[in-house]
């Protein structure tokens, strides 16, 4: 009985061992995999012609330019007509070509789609040297090994030579890290929008970034609008204080501060959202300059030829526009001028909405100075990348929309600050504000007459 049970157990085990052995033997004795293709070196030669490719750096920091040198040598006795193609890896994640740096000792160079092209004739004993700069973008990942291969074709022959660099993260600091964060956010939005087929992806990425910034600062913007409205309501009281203390500026300032305190109004509250957003403006400007210099901001946006233009480098000024005729040509110049004009108009309208009329001489002087701000922004729009101007314009449009939204939420309320200030020194002056109306004594007489009439009726 036990023998039969043992057979029942050992039978399947033996079968499993045999199947496993067959599987292992097939794996061990299977045909070896195909040989890997030979590695491409930095030098290739055939038929008396050689191609050499070198990178000036073995290790490059993200955002650092790397010089690539291609040397074509003809050691034969006959001239050779050749064409060269050097395609760099994807420009967003790996290497970006600086197109204005391509040079060649002879022949013709061109570029398209992050690729260098060269064509020409190499005479016997001649060297043709081609150089260009490429950047591993600051928005890509460190620790990558980037290899790109140049292909030279002549007389039915093809030579390939490659160069390799390794990327390394730079030390950015807090401010540099913030700039890089914004640049990475823009590239992330750009790739996401492009992946779902949205045209002008980078322009809409900037608009999306603006929406996020406006959303994050919405409480501050709402407080700014409320502060502006409250200042409008306090104008009659402020005017009364000015009449009362017109010969004593110190007492006037104290009374005004008491009025602001009792009414819960901060006269500088309207400046807070701008102060908060200023670091974002500066960081976005630096980020766009970096992206432009790294070749990642060449995309246009509707009528704008390039979001990196008309100024994509430090200190570019308005040399692209003046002296006339524009160095970039009238069609591109007019296209770039449209956005600064729209920015000035939107800035003027928004400033008119957000600036309350004031009877305070100091505030009136401040407001007159602020009238030049839209013109300053218009000038800035001429000397920065159009991507930043697009951010400013979009921010203004959203600001106007937020103003009307907030206005409908808080509604129109009568000025009640004076009544709330009863018992204070400011309240005494506030109650005396309507000079043109019935004086306090006349009002008492009228009240007395009405009381006597009511008694007679009784």
- Decide if pLDDT at 436 tops 50: no
Residue 313 is predicted with a pLDDT of 60
- The residue count for the chain: 458
Element (H, E) at 239: helix 235-244
Q: Give the model's confidence band at 218: pLDDT under 50 very low, under 70 low, under 90 confident, else very high.
A: confident
CA distance 164 to 147: 4
DSSP-derived pairing of the beta strands 127-135 and 96-104: antiparallel
Residue, of 392 and 254, whose pLDDT is higher: 392
Residue, of 358 and 4, whose pLDDT is higher: 358
Q: Is 67 helix (H, G, I), strand (E, B) or coil?
A: strand
Nearest to 131 by CA among 158, 163, 94: 163
CA distance 157 to 232: 81
pTM: 0.66
Question: Tokens 């401040």 belong to which residue?
Answer: 366
Residue 414 is predicted with a pLDDT of 41
Residue, of 240 and 444, whose pLDDT is higher: 240
Contact 234, 415 (CB under 8 A): yes
What tokens were used for 293? 């210099």
C-alpha neighbours within 13 Å on the C-beta side of residue 274? 13
Contacts of 197-204 with C-beta under 8 Å, sequence gap 24+, read 200/299, 200/300, 200/301, 200/302, 201/299, 202/297, 202/299, 202/301, 202/307, 202/387, 203/299, 203/300, 203/301, 203/302, 203/304, 203/307, 203/387, 203/390
Tell me which of 151-165, 204-218, 234-248 is least confident: 234-248
Nearest to 443 by CA among 434, 430, 456: 434
Provide CATH 2.60.40.1530 ranges for the chain.
Answer: 43-168
**What percent of the chain shows pLDDT beyond 90?**
33
Q: Give the model's confidence band at 458: pLDDT under 50 very low, under 70 low, under 90 confident, else very high.
A: very low
Q: For all residues of the chain together, what is the average pLDDT?
A: 77
For 290, counting Cβ atoms within 10 Å of its Cβ (0-12 exposed, 13-18 middle, 19+ buried), the class is buried
Q: In CATH, what class is 43-168?
A: mainly beta
State pLDDT tens for residues 46-91.
989 999 999 999 999 998 899 999 999 999 889 999 999 999 887 6
CA distance 309 to 291: 12
Q: How far is CA 265 from CA 227, 370, 419, 431, in A?
A: 6, 21, 15, 19
Mean pLDDT of all residues in 332-348: 92
Q: Is 160 helix (H, G, I), strand (E, B) or coil?
A: strand
Q: Is 134 helix (H, G, I), strand (E, B) or coil?
A: strand
382-395: b (≥16 Cβ within 10 Å) or e: bbbbbbbbbbbbbb
**Chain centre distance of CA 384:** 12
The DSSP code for 82 is E
> What are the helix and strand counts (H, E) for the chain?
14, 11
Tell me which of 30-39, 170-179, 223-232, 367-376 is least confident: 30-39
Mean pLDDT of all residues in 85-100: 82
Contact 130, 122 (CB under 8 A): no
Q: Is the CA virtual torsion 93, 98, 103, 108 positive or negative?
A: positive
For 114, counting Cβ atoms within 10 Å of its Cβ (0-12 exposed, 13-18 middle, 19+ buried), the class is buried
Element (H, E) at 125: none
Q: How many CB atoms lie within 10 A of CB 218?
A: 15
Q: Is 276 helix (H, G, I), strand (E, B) or coil?
A: helix
What tokens were used for 173? 């600091």
Residue 51 is predicted with a pLDDT of 96
Query: Please, which residues have CB within 8 angstroms of residue 347's CB and are 6 or more apart in sequence?
Result: 373, 374, 377, 378, 392, 396
Q: Is 83 helix (H, G, I), strand (E, B) or coil?
A: strand
Q: Give the model's confidence band at 22: pLDDT under 50 very low, under 70 low, under 90 confident, else very high.
A: very low
Q: Is 323 helix (H, G, I), strand (E, B) or coil?
A: coil
Element (H, E) at 178: helix 173-195
């Amino acid at each position: 009985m036990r023998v039969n049970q043992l057979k029942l157990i050992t039978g399947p085990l033996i079968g499993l061992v045999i199947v496993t052995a067959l599987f292992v033997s097939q794996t061990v004795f299977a045909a070896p995999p195909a040989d890997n293709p030979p590695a491409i070196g930095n030098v290739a030669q055939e038929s008396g012609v050689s191609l050499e490719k070198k990178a000036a750096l073995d290790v490059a920091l993200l955002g650092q330019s790397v010089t690539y040198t291609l040397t074509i040598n003809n050691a034969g006795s006959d001239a050779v007509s050749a064409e060269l193609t050097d395609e760099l890896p994807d420009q967003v994640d790996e290497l970006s070509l600086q197109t204005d740096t391509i040079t060649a000792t002879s022949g013709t160079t061109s570029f398209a789609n992050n690729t260098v092209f060269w064509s020409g004739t190499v005479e016997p004993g001649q060297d043709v040297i081609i150089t260009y700069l490429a950047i591993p973008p600051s928005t890509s990942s460190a620790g990558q090994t980037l290899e790109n291969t140049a292909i030279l074709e002549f007389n039915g022959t093809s030579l390939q030579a490659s160069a390799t660099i390794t990327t390394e993260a730079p030390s950015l600091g807090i401010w540099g890290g913030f700039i890089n964060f914004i640049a990475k956010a823009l590239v992330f939005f750009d790739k996401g929008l492009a992946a779902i087929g949205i045209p002008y992806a980078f322009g809409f990425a900037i608009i999306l970034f603006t929406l996020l910034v406006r959303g994050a600062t919405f409480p501050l913007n709402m407080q700014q609008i409320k502060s502006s409205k409250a200042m409008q309501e306090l104008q009659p009281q402020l005017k009364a204080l000015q009449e009362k203390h017109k010969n004593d500026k110190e007492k006037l300032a104290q009374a005004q501060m008491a009025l602001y305190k009792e009414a819960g109004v901060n006269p500088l509250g309207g400046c807070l959202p701008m102060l908060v957003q200023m670091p974002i403006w500066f960081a976005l400007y630096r980020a766009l300059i970096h992206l432009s210099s790294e070749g990642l901001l060449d995309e246009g946006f509707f009528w704008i030829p390039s979001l990196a233009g008309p100024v994509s480098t430090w200190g570019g000024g308005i040399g692209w526009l003046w002296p006339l005729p524009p160095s970039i040509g009238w069609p591109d110049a007019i296209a770039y001028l449209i956005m600064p004009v729209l920015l000035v108009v939107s800035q003027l309208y928004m400033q008119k909405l957000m600036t309350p009329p004031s009877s305070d001489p100091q505030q009136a002087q401040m407001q007159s100075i602020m009238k030049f701000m839209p013109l300053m922004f218009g000038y800035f729009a001429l000397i920065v990348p159009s991507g930043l101007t697009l951010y400013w314009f979009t921010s203004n449009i959203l600001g106007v929309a937020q103003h009307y939204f907030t206005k409908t939420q808080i509604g129109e309320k009568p000025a009640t600050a004076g009544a709330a200030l009863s018992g204070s020194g400011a309240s005494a002056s506030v109650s005396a504000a309507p000079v043109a109306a019935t004086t306090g004594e006349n009002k008492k007489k009228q009240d007395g007459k009405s009381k006597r009439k009511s008694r007679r009726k009784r």
